[in-house]
Amino acid sequence: MGDRVARFRGTRAWRIARWPLGVLVVAFVAIQFVPYGWWHDNPPVVQDAPWPNDRARQIARQSCYACHSNETEWPLYSYVAPMSWLVRADVEDGRDELNFSDWTEFSDESGDAIDVIALGEMPPDRYTLVHRSASLSDEEADILIDALVQMGRADD
């Protein structure tokens, strides 16, 4: 393999490719210094959502809490730009829309949550592509929707 690498480095292709590759490496290192994305916080849980059963709670924790709670687990890639920018923006947006860790503030959003789950828009495909276990089966979506309906009624 070393011989093959040595032969490639002597080719015209290497002479052409090394500058753009060098620029990409320098750019990747430089964007690590952009001060957005590496700072992660999990504010305290104010009031967790009152899930009507353990199964619904488990499904929500597996499929929703990463973005819709103050209990986000920040994976290693969430500290490396540009992924850190995307992860942080998704968590901030998710918490702004519905936060299961502050149910008193967000309980009136259960109807919207039901709609996006029923339409298959949550969890988003870009999240389930990396986190396969977060995908909802039809049965899991129904359990989550039923739980949100019950929780919405309890707040009326």
| Local confidence pLDDT in tens for the 156 residues of the chain | 566 766 666 677 767 877 888 788 877 877 788 777 667 889 999 999 999 999 999 999 999 999 999 999 999 888 899 989 999 999 999 999 999 999 999 999 999 999 999 999 999 999 999 999 999 999 999 999 999 999 987 665
10 and 82 housed in the same domain: no
Contact call for residues 102 and 133 (beta carbons, < 8 A): no
Same domain? For 7 and 70 the reply is no
Shared-domain flag, residues 73 and 119: yes
Distances (CA, A) of 79 to 36, 53, 66, 103: 10, 34, 15, 28
Closest CA to 103 of 146, 39, 55, 60: 60
Structural domain boundaries, residue 151 = 54-155
14 found inside a domain? yes
> 59 and 16, same structural domain?
no
Residues 151, 99 share a domain: yes
pLDDT for the residue numbered 17:
76
Residue 106 is assigned to a structural domain of this protein: yes
- pTM for the complete prediction? 0.79
For residues 12 and 67, membership in a common domain is answered with: no
Q: Tell me what pLDDT residue 140 has.
A: 98
Looking at residue 27, what is its pLDDT? Answer: 78
Total domains in the fold of the chain = 2
Does residue 45 sit within a domain?
A: no
